[in-house]
Amino acid sequence: MKQEIRKAVMAVIVNIENKVLIGSSPRDGGFKFPQGGLDENEHFVDGIIRELKEELDLDITINDISQSYTETVKYIYPNEDKYIFKSQELNIVKVTFNDQMKLIPQDDEFEELIWINPSELPNYNTYFRAQAYEKALVICGLL
């Protein structure tokens, strides 16, 4: 039986041109923001620092976080066996990217990383995440 809600966190990484980072996911196809589940009792800011290291080998500190939000976004997973949760609820952390940072995709999280204007997100297949991602960009003041 599937678990109800996975508590998670996502990063909206913004560069100097006000573009956001998305990546293509070989796990389930489509494009997504860097994100991941929270460990038990883990604060979402600590979770995004850990997730960015795990997924992109990106070391950030609190100083790189321009904003964190208590408002969450949520999406429902497709009814497929590979998903053990019914839905995912994500806190959002806005991260400022600088030229000293390096992005190196780890494992099978991302095949390709691209910078896009926030308004271009609908041009990329984000599947079941589309509405949640749009809402996240609105919360971040990018749409």
- What average pLDDT does the structure give for the chain? 94
pLDDT at 53 over 90: yes
pLDDT by residue (tens digit) across 54-101?
A: 999 999 999 999 999 999 999 998 888 878 899 999 999 999 999 899
Walk me through the domains of the chain, giving residue ranges and CATH numbers.
3-139 (3.90.79.10)
Instruction: Tell me the pTM.
Output: 0.94
Q: Report the b/e string of 60-99 with b at 16+ CB within 10 A.
A: beeebbeebbeebbebebeeeeebebebbbbbbbbbebee
